[in-house]
Amino acid sequence: DIQMTQSPSSLSASVGDRVSITCRASQSITIYLNWYQQKPGKAPHLLISAASSLQSGVPSRFSGSGSGTDFTLTISSLQPEDFATYYCQQSYSNPPTFGQGTKVEIK
Amino acid sequence: EVQLVESGGGLVKPGGSLRLSCAASGFTFSSHSLNWVRQTPGKGLEWVSSISSSSSYIFYADSVKGRFTISRDNAKNSLFLQMNSLRAEDTAVYYCARSYYDTTGSNKLDYWGQGTLVTVSS
Q: Which pLDDT score is estimated for B96?
A: 98
B63-79 residue pLDDT tens: 999 999 999 999 999 99
Residue B105's pLDDT band (cuts 50, 70, 90): confident
Across chain A, the runs of DSSP E, i.e. the strands, are: 4-7, 10-13, 19-25, 33-38, 45-49, 53-54, 62-67, 70-75, 85-90, 97-98, 102-106
Contact B45 A87 (CB under 8 A): yes
B106 pLDDT above the threshold of 90? no
| CA nearest neighbour of B110 among B52, B44, B35 | B35
Q: Which pLDDT score is estimated for B90?
A: 97
Looking at residues A5-9, what average pLDDT do you find? Answer: 98
Q: Which pLDDT score is estimated for B92?
A: 97
- Find residues 66-105 of chain B whose CB sits inside 8 Å of chain A: 95, 102, 104-105
Contact B102 A53 (CB under 8 A): yes
- Measured between beta carbons, which residues in chain B are less than 8 angstroms from residue A34? 106, 108-109
A25-62 residue pLDDT tens: 999 999 999 999 999 999 999 999 999 999 999 999 99
List C-alpha distances in Å: B8 to B13, B22, B23, B55. Answer: 15, 9, 11, 21
Looking at residues A19-25, what average pLDDT do you find? Answer: 98
Give me Rg for the CA atoms of chain B: 14
| CA nearest neighbour of A83 among A24, A31, A42, A30 | A42
Q: In whole angstroms, what is the distance from residue A57 CA to residue A13 CA?
A: 24
A35-45 residue pLDDT tens: 999 999 999 99
B43 pLDDT above the threshold of 90? no
Q: Which pLDDT score is estimated for B35?
A: 98
Could you write out the DSSP letters of every residue in A12-24?
EE-TT--EEEEEE
